[in-house]
Amino acid sequence: MLHIGCHLSCSSGYLAMGRTALTIGADTFQFFTRNPRGGSVKAFDEQDARALCDFLAQHDFAPILAHAPYTLNACAADERIRDFARRTMREDLERLSHIPGAMLNFHPGSHVKQGAETGVKLIARMLDEVYTPDMPTTVLLETMAGKGSEVGRSFEELRAIMDAARVGDRLGVCLDTCHVFDGGYDIANRLEDVLDEFDRVVGLSRLRAIHINDSKNPLGSHKDRHEKIGQGHIGLDAMVRIINHPRLRNLPFYLETPNELDGYAREIALLRSAYREE
Ligand code: FE
Ligand code: FE
Ligand code: ZN
């Protein structure tokens, strides 16, 4: 079975997201741990988290994915911004320990003129400071489009973070199809080569989740503008190859396309109908 869901708003609570996911044909979902552009967060409702866990088990959901706020920048030049990243990550991991099936995805950061090498070191240091062995959550580095000074624009940069952190062997990767395409990896025409390269540099066993998005811009544009499935430069044929690929087909897929719920429901139905059961 294809494991697929989309990004949902957490404003009505945890259990409400599970219920919403079910109504649009999803068996997983992604949500922001807090306000994505700020960082403010509601009080944690442990009972609601427990109700969600029961719901996920009852309906055979695939692992759900929490997304850290965009404002989290572990490799900022400003110490106060790095401190916010540290505190946010620590608190989010603490909360997610109450939802043991969830993974936490984050954008590695932007090095803002310090250089990628310094960026990698700062990101690894932040992870070592907050990600303790008792935490059940798997933390995922997201592949980035290479906009501005984003770290994680190449498979090598993700590998470098894993190598630099003591907790590196616990880290996974979330591959965003729009981002890697914008980053110059031609998953539309050379999927096999890109996966071989990922395997060689990072290791396919590290790949734990896929953000499935089309791109408004051509290969290598470094823009990061998501498009609806089949309406962008990656195209529907490539999307169908991706969800059916033997090395990807069992991973959870998360849509972050520009849609409301009805649009997500249609994309989920479209991809489910294109999935070949074995
Ligand atoms: Fe993201
Ligand atoms: Fe993404
Ligand atoms: Zn994006």
Whether 40 has a pLDDT exceeding 90, the answer reads no
How far away, in angstroms, is 278 Cα from ligand 1 center? 31
Res. 278 pLDDT band, cuts 50 70 90: confident
Give the environment of ion ligand 2: residues with CB less than 5 A: 176, 211
Q: Which ligand is nearest to the CA of 145?
A: 3
Q: For residue 255, what is the enclosing H or E element? A: strand 253-255
Look at strands 226-227 and 214-215 and give their pairing: antiparallel
Overall average pLDDT of the 210-218 stretch: 98
Phi-psi region of 76 (alpha: psi -120 to 50; beta: other; left: phi over 0): beta
Question: How close is the Cα of 154 to the center of ligand 3, in Å?
Answer: 15
Query: What's the CA-to-centroid distance between 256 and ligand 1, angstroms?
Result: 8
pTM above 0.95? Answer: yes
Q: Which ligand is nearest to the CA of 32?
A: 1
DSSP code, position 258: S
Measured in Å, residue 277 CA sits from the centre of ligand 1 at 29
Q: How far is CA 188 from CA 235, 240, 259, in A?
A: 7, 10, 22
From ligand 3's centre to the CA of 67, what distance in Å?
A: 12
| Phi, psi at 82, each rounded to 5° | -65, -35
What pLDDT score was predicted for residue 36?
87
- Tell me the average pLDDT of the chain: 97
Give pLDDT, residue 267.
98
Compute the distance between CA of residue 121 and CA of residue 243 in angstroms, rounded to an integer.
34
Q: How far is the CA of 178 from the centre of ligand 3 (A)?
A: 7
Q: How far is the CA of 179 from the centre of ligand 1 (A)?
A: 9
Of the candidates 173, 180, 168, which has an alpha carbon nearest to the alpha carbon of residue 222? Answer: 180
Both tokens of 3, joined, read 């494991």
Residues, CB-to-ion distance under 5 Å, ligand 1? 142
For residue 131, pLDDT over 90 is answered with yes
Q: Of the bound ligands, which one is closest to the alpha carbon of residue 254? A: 2
Residues 103/172, Cβ–Cβ less than 8 Å: yes
Q: Which ligand is nearest to the CA of 36?
A: 1
Can you give the pLDDT at residue 125?
98
Cα–Cα dist 258/153, whole Å:
22
Q: How far apart are CA 54 and CA 116, in angstroms?
A: 42
Ligand 2 center from residue 253 Cα (angstroms): 11
Cα 107 → chain centroid: 8
